Chain A
Amino acid sequence: MAAKLGNTLRLLRCVARRPVSCRRIFTTSYLRCEERPQFSGLKSDFTYKLSILDPDNEAGIPVYRVMNSHGEMTQDSEDPKIDKETVLKMYRDMTLLNSMDKILYESQRQGRISFYMTNYGEEATHIGSAAALHLEDLVFGQYREAGVLMWRGFSLDQFINQCYGNVEDMGKGRQMPVHYGSRDLHYVTISSPLATQMPQASGAAYAFKLKQNGKCVICYFGDGAASEGDAHAAFNFAATLDCPVIFFCRNNGYAISTPTSEQYRGDGIASRGSGYGMLTMRVDGNDVFAVYNVTKQAREICVKQNRPVLIEAMTYRVGHHSTSDDSSMYREKGEVVKFDTNNPIGRLRGYMARQGWWDDEDENKWREQCKKNVMEAFGKAEKRKKPSPVELFEDVYDEIPIHLQKQMDSLKEHLSKNGDKYPVQSHEVWS
């Protein structure tokens, strides 16, 4: 039956292609209209065979990589041929971040800072992408992207001051540790609610498009955050409103204790891209050069075509979720070890050794230097006072409204009588 119908349709299609006026042959015209779906918002054909699109039958989106786990370039044409100095900076930033993570993680264990989140295993996603961007491109992050800031020149002092919430913290000690931000480095301050930054990034990108300033926006998020409604809004707004934004997903296998098998059932995050009409790439997140290549490509698409791009970087969260988490409660030790041996730092080091740019002596010297620099910044940050309590009330609005002024005055008066019951000594004087 279906075959017969198909033949008839083919015949009619032939008839229809002849230069015959539709008005004269009404039935042909009618069938011509029926030949292709006229529903708005579709570009598909009719099918006369019931078929179900089964994602299980689809091959997964391949993972793009440039070098293997020993740091050997697998295909010369894909070699970004980054100069020695830049590669050394990539390596130094990744390892410095690693050293800072170790020391700040330990300091939290000792109760010296209240909270910390390490970046173990994901250093290449930060550095590879940051290196491919322009400094003026605006970054919206989640919280595990400290390497991007490091690449852009955020100093150890600035990182550690924020974690201590001391007078030198640009955030004025108001947010939890690792909620970094820098206006000079075009890095929008991190906030805890997941995925909220995503549709904001789309909006910022739209503003850039209107200004025609040649900049793009990059927005980092984890595979867990991608389940939030805001992720959906962000993708759809960026696509329909033609925003020059790169969505960079760090798919590290876990959202705290939740493995990706409980996070989604599709082919990761990348498979969602085409559903929104976005150009999409999946990359080996432990390969800093592959990450660099895809981000560079994405940036070009953004600024030249005003189109969003989705990048999914496959990686593994080597460390605990945060200092408030013990990941041995929900994953096997062997699993972590397996991924740690394929870590991004080792791979880049392999590459550098092969180039003759780095040897064991360089490594030892650099590691010592890192440790020394972090400890120095740490010591300074710890000694600094916290900001004056007046900062509790500033910046709620651009100016302090009357009711808030009254509350501020009442705290000041309260402290004048009860100062001995508060840690006033560790804060700057309320002038």
Chain B
Amino acid sequence: MAASAKTILRGFRRCGVLKGASRVTSLNIARAAHFTYVPDTPPTAYGDTTRMNLVQAINNTLDLTLATDPTAVLFGEDVAFGGVFRCSNELRDRYGTDRVFNTPLSEQGIVAFGIGLATAGSNAIAEIQFADYIFPAFDQITNEAAKFRYRTGNLFDCGKLTIRTPCGAVGHGALYHSQSPEAFFAHIPGIKVVIPRGPFQAKGLLMSCIRDDNPCIFFEPKILYRGAVEEVPTKDYTLPLSQAEVLLEGGDVTLVGWGTQVHVLLEVAKIAQETLGVSCEVIDLRTILPWDTETIAKSVVKTGRLLVAHEAPHTMGFAAEIAATVQSECFLNLEAPVERVCGYDTPFPHVFEPFYIPDKWKCVEGIKKLVNY
């Protein structure tokens, strides 16, 4: 029964994506927008740029990888015709059915197949159609991919494996098209977990994941796929993993988020400045594991207050790890308890999504608590 429900849902969403995809999706985003996208400005050092949305940036990264690395292969459910989100559009035609191909519908199979490819010398880029469906592959990720190098004494490794998967709220995704499972994976030594906030970041970070010699999970906030558009360098470039980025400097409160939530926090900082006169420092964590403790701690030493916000549920969400580390590293600097604004400890609901997500108003209330403590 569960399996058939999943199949029906998949069929449904495929139809949705296929028939007038851009119109339907942008309509949904407009209706559900809980954030205003703030485009990145790529450094001039990377040369010529083109306007790309997140899908195009991903596609461009995969394209460059397949073009320059003959061992690279791209596979997953429905990637051959271009993918249900169009991320692998035209790549099969360009690089052949042997290198861009559909697999049977089995997530544990996809990840394990990727581990095998990587072990035997291929650069394996696997797609899990929605992060919500990565759990059947949990065993392969945690017991196999993450531990491969360690348990073999570095005789074998699957460092050339990258798993891409769409994540996060999308306005109407309900329980199984909205999840942000990064915290489950943050507890797994041996893998890297990365989430970009937009097209420029996505290209640079995904390129780093693909080239990194460790198995990486790359979560793509699907609400940004078409909504986020900005200038992206056309050439090959990488952005460093395990480095957070300070997007906005401030002196009173440190705000930390990742993915879509970064855009929420940028707006929150603006509101806080305008209505409360509070100066916020906004940081995009970018890499969940291994995460950049130093940048966060340095900021909190300066501001004395920290708010961490994520879409995933509160209890044992990654904000808990950040909060615990910051209180241990910055105990003497903290002026107020670390504030966590997260999803509730419920499954991700359908019609209640506007009430569920840690939106700007909830974050602003969190800042009030911090400054009035």
- Residues on A facing B (Cβ under 8 Å): 138, 140, 169-172, 174-175, 179, 181-183, 188-189, 191, 193, 196, 198-211, 217, 229-230, 232-234, 236-237, 240-241, 394-398, 401-404
Q: Are A200 and B115 in contact (CB under 8 A)?
A: yes
Q: Are A181 and B113 in contact (CB under 8 A)?
A: no
Chain B residues whose C-beta falls within 8 Å of the C-beta of A236 in the assembled complex: 104, 106, 109
List 6 A-B residue pairs with CB atoms under 8 Å apart, sorted by A's residue number.
Answer: A172-B153, A199-B113, A203-B124, A241-B103, A395-B150, A403-B290
CB distance from B161 to the nearest CB of A (A): 9
Q: Are A203 and B116 in contact (CB under 8 A)?
A: yes
Chain B residues whose C-beta falls within 8 Å of the C-beta of A230 in the assembled complex: 108-109, 112, 139-140
B143 within 8 A of A: yes
Chain B residues whose C-beta falls within 8 Å of the C-beta of A404 in the assembled complex: 189, 290
Contact of A191 among B121, B143, B190 (CB under 8 A): B143
B157 within 8 A of A: yes
Given contacts A179-B151, A204-B120, A237-B106, contact A196 B140 (CB under 8 A): yes
For the complex of A and B, 9 pairs with smallest distance between CB atoms: A203-B116, A233-B109, A199-B112, A207-B120, A200-B116, A203-B113, A189-B152, A204-B120, A401-B290
Q: Are A196 and B112 in contact (CB under 8 A)?
A: yes
Q: Are A402 and B151 in contact (CB under 8 A)?
A: no
The residue of chain A having its C-beta at the shortest distance from the C-beta of B190 within the complex is A396
Q: Are B103 and A237 in contact (CB under 8 A)?
A: yes
Given contacts A188-B119, A233-B104, A403-B293, contact A174 B153 (CB under 8 A): yes
Q: Which residues 135-170 in B have Cβ within 8 Å of A in the complex?
A: 136, 139-140, 143-144, 147, 149-157, 159
Chain A residues whose C-beta falls within 8 Å of the C-beta of B365 in the assembled complex: none
Determine the distance from Cα of A189 to Cα of B71 in the docked complex, in whole angstroms: 23
Given contacts A203-B116, A237-B103, A241-B103, contact A196 B153 (CB under 8 A): no
B242 within 8 A of A: yes
The residue of chain A having its C-beta at the shortest distance from the C-beta of B150 within the complex is A395
Q: Are A199 and B116 in contact (CB under 8 A)?
A: yes
Chain B residues whose C-beta falls within 8 Å of the C-beta of A208 in the assembled complex: 120
B73 within 8 A of A: yes
| B interface size (C-beta, 8 A) | 48
B181 within 8 A of A: no
Chain B residues whose C-beta falls within 8 Å of the C-beta of A175 in the assembled complex: 151
Determine the distance from Cα of A230 to Cα of B116 in the docked complex, in whole angstroms: 13
Contact of A241 among B101, B124, B154 (CB under 8 A): B101
Among the interface residues B114, B152, B157, B290, which one has the most CB atoms of the partner chain A within 10 A? B152
Q: Are B290 and A199 in contact (CB under 8 A)?
A: no
Determine the distance from Cα of A394 to Cα of B154 in the docked complex, in whole angstroms: 9
Chain A residues whose C-beta falls within 8 Å of the C-beta of B151 in the assembled complex: 171, 174-175, 179, 189, 191
Q: Are A183 and B112 in contact (CB under 8 A)?
A: no
Contact of B108 among A182, A199, A206, A398 (CB under 8 A): A199
Determine the distance from Cα of A189 to Cα of B155 in the docked complex, in whole angstroms: 8
Contact of A200 among B113, B149, B213, B242 (CB under 8 A): B113
CB distance from A181 to the nearest CB of B (A): 5
Q: Are A200 and B112 in contact (CB under 8 A)?
A: yes
CB distance from B168 to the nearest CB of A (A): 25
Q: Are B112 and A398 in contact (CB under 8 A)?
A: no
CB distance from A37 to the nearest CB of B (A): 22
Given contacts A199-B108, A232-B106, A233-B104, contact A397 B147 (CB under 8 A): no
B69 within 8 A of A: no
Determine the distance from Cα of A202 to Cα of B113 in the docked complex, in whole angstroms: 6
Q: Which residues 279-293 in B have Cβ within 8 Å of A in the complex?
A: 290-291, 293
Chain B residues whose C-beta falls within 8 Å of the C-beta of A232 in the assembled complex: 106
Q: Are A237 and B117 in contact (CB under 8 A)?
A: no
Q: Are B122 and A210 in contact (CB under 8 A)?
A: yes
B236 within 8 A of A: no
Determine the distance from Cα of A206 to Cα of B109 in the docked complex, in whole angstroms: 13
B261 within 8 A of A: no
Given contacts A233-B112, A395-B149, contact A138 B120 (CB under 8 A): yes
Contact of A234 among B71, B109, B121 (CB under 8 A): B109
Given contacts A193-B144, A241-B101, contact A398 B157 (CB under 8 A): yes
Determine the distance from Cα of A217 to Cα of B118 in the docked complex, in whole angstroms: 14
The residue of chain B having its C-beta at the shortest distance from the C-beta of A200 within the complex is B116
The residue of chain B having its C-beta at the shortest distance from the C-beta of A188 within the complex is B156
CB distance from B130 to the nearest CB of A (A): 18
Chain A residues whose C-beta falls within 8 Å of the C-beta of B119 in the assembled complex: 188, 200, 203-204
Chain A residues whose C-beta falls within 8 Å of the C-beta of B98 in the assembled complex: 209-210
CB distance from B321 to the nearest CB of A (A): 10
Chain B residues whose C-beta falls within 8 Å of the C-beta of A203 in the assembled complex: 112-120, 124
Determine the distance from Cα of A170 to Cα of B98 in the docked complex, in whole angstroms: 35
Given contacts A196-B140, A395-B149, A396-B150, contact A207 B155 (CB under 8 A): no
Q: Are B139 and A202 in contact (CB under 8 A)?
A: no
Q: Are B155 and A233 in contact (CB under 8 A)?
A: no
Determine the distance from Cα of A177 to Cα of B156 in the docked complex, in whole angstroms: 18
Chain B residues whose C-beta falls within 8 Å of the C-beta of A403 in the assembled complex: 290-291, 293
The residue of chain A having its C-beta at the shortest distance from the C-beta of B70 within the complex is A210
Chain A residues whose C-beta falls within 8 Å of the C-beta of B147 in the assembled complex: 191
The residue of chain A having its C-beta at the shortest distance from the C-beta of B155 within the complex is A183
Determine the distance from Cα of A202 to Cα of B147 in the docked complex, in whole angstroms: 19
Q: Are A202 and B116 in contact (CB under 8 A)?
A: yes
Determine the distance from Cα of A172 to Cα of B152 in the docked complex, in whole angstroms: 8
Chain A residues whose C-beta falls within 8 Å of the C-beta of B159 in the assembled complex: 398
Q: Are B116 and A174 in contact (CB under 8 A)?
A: no
- 7 additional A-B pairs beyond A193-B144, A203-B115, A207-B122, beta carbons within 8 Å, are A181-B152, A196-B143, A198-B112, A202-B116, A232-B106, A394-B154, A398-B213
Determine the distance from Cα of A378 to Cα of B160 in the docked complex, in whole angstroms: 38
B214 within 8 A of A: yes
Determine the distance from Cα of A175 to Cα of B213 in the docked complex, in whole angstroms: 22
The residue of chain A having its C-beta at the shortest distance from the C-beta of B144 within the complex is A196
Determine the distance from Cα of A138 to Cα of B332 in the docked complex, in whole angstroms: 56
The residue of chain A having its C-beta at the shortest distance from the C-beta of B290 within the complex is A401
B294 within 8 A of A: yes
CB distance from B298 to the nearest CB of A (A): 13
The residue of chain B having its C-beta at the shortest distance from the C-beta of A392 within the complex is B150
Q: Are B113 and A206 in contact (CB under 8 A)?
A: yes
Contact of B214 among A188, A237, A394, A398 (CB under 8 A): A398
Given contacts A181-B155, A396-B149, contact A402 B290 (CB under 8 A): yes
Q: Are A171 and B116 in contact (CB under 8 A)?
A: no
The residue of chain B having its C-beta at the shortest distance from the C-beta of A192 within the complex is B143
Q: Are B190 and A397 in contact (CB under 8 A)?
A: yes
